[in-house]
Structure 1
Amino acid sequence: MNPANHSQVTGFVLLGLSQVWELRFLFLIVFSVVYLLTVTGNLLIVAIVTSDPRLHTTMYFLLGNLSFLDFCYSTITAPRMLVDLLSGHPIISFGSCLTQLFSFHFIGGIKIFLLTVMAYDRYVAISQPLRYALIMNRTVCGLLMVASWVGGFIHSIVQVGLTVQLPFCGPDKLDNFYCDVPQLIKLACTDTFVLELLMVSNNGLVTLMCFLVLLGSYTALLFMLRGHSREGRSKALSTCASHIAVVTLIFVPCVYIYARPFRTFPMDKAVSVLYTMVTPMVNPAIYTLRNKEVIMAMKKLWRGKRTFWVPWNTDPQISRGRA
């Protein structure tokens, strides 16, 4: 489908975070550092998980995938935003806008499904440790990852499919630093009430339900830990606490943005910055600061010691994580 046949607008002006040059220059410095830390931290985790044989477990395989997705997620918006901060009139073409929208929801959808898989992995490791290696084997984990990617693709293509049919005849100013559904729908030259309901159902309600299910599952896990030994409980609690922190940082902003009518609120841009820039940066720190295995692997990688690859380990005693 050719968007030009349905629209008189060929591009949009991104209003960004501020029109004041001094603030834009400050944002440029701050978010350049944030993006650099995001890229370094997430790719470092990917390298560590890949290179250290002790981390060839289900839990760290999923963690490495999450770090890679965080890197991709931030790269979809951050480089464009940094360039636009230097431009007086940042303009994005209609096609580029839809591409950014698709990529943004594609990676975001995969992350949501991956976090659900990670919660299931912890549930099996804690509730059925003797059968963990059988249940969460390499084949099952790979299939769950494929399902996450397919789910993210379906979610994203629905967003683009509904948006591309809208007529855009002006205005052409997007009140954000990237293209997303809430801002685009407000510029459409038609009644979008029904479409908003569909978008809220596809985005907001699904995200909210996943968030509540994840919180419920981690709550159940915390109750299960009461019967474990003190050492085992401490390790599992540390891992679950990291997961809960990441889930909260990712899901709460998404629920705020998408599970409500698409209207402009004062905190919208701040929340957008939080989950597109800040959260991908802090996720590596949350997962590694209290994780002794990752810290040891990081030191080993830093010292330049070479290790030989060994088959993927699914030992439940290792996979439950050592914090």
Structure 2
Amino acid sequence: MAVDTAPRPTREVAPQPSSRAPRSGMVGSSRGGRWWLYLVLTVALVAVVAPFVWMVLGSFKGEGELRQVPPTWWPQSASLDNYTQLFSKLNFGQYFYNSIVVAVVVTAGNLIFCSMLGYAFAMLDFKGKRPLFLAVMATLMIPGVVTFVPLFVLVANAGLINSLPGLFLPFLVSPFGVFLMRQFILGLPRDLLDAGRVDGAGELRIFWRIILPLCGPALATLGILTFLGSWNNFLWPLVVGQTEDKYTLPVALALYSTGQNSTNYGLLLAGATVVILPILVVFLVFQKRFIEGIATTGLK
């Protein structure tokens, strides 16, 4: 019996249009309907950036041009006199050194101690863990002005007035940093800790070798926020630092840009521009980690 091996014709099936495919008219209308959102974001961006642009441009103006009405955006006769006065007449190097030391030590202390406390509250079980964490969270609701005088009395009794340790020791740990690190570490798998304990590693080794390397985004977020707050701190260095050699940059600029009868706005704007530069550098370097930390912390 013969077998028919000739290929049979196949019937082509026309593709059916998908009901999920977006229509061009709907896409265009959705984009066109968001014009108000782009407008609001543009206005907000201009409102945020405009003062910084005016500050930088104003640092190249003379005192007369800064005081004239109506004010000008672009300098009519740009000069570096304000920066020359800032670096020559003021002991800028000493003030910059004090600010760097205080900000770096405070940031390093928060990164180490807050991460340790966050690890303990997140992964360890001990008696009184919940009340202690509630006490830490309760301190977030206490204004800093309330604890300012008691903190100053403690520092004075310890003999740390008018010293760099007196400027950074009270701020080596922050309750917000503890909360931030605890929330991030809660999202890490506990199997990593169990594997480390099976291999004979202690808690300190588990923290340094396993937990801390995984906390990069949270550490970057905490570091940027802590450095920013310490670098711009004004009231505490003003009270504790009582001689010129212990002034930080914000204190020195506020004291020396304000004369007996008037304020030297050109010098103040030039100093503010210089003060902001380290903060911008730190943020640009850790920008990616900072965004990751804000996006992932507290998901659990």
TM-score by length of 2: 0.30
Instruction: Give the structure with the higher percent helix.
Output: 1
Computing the radius of gyration from Cα coordinates, the structure with the larger value is 2
TM-score by length of 1: 0.29
Q: Specify which structure has the bigger relative contact order, considering alpha-carbon pairs within 8 angstroms and separated by 6 or more residues.
A: 1
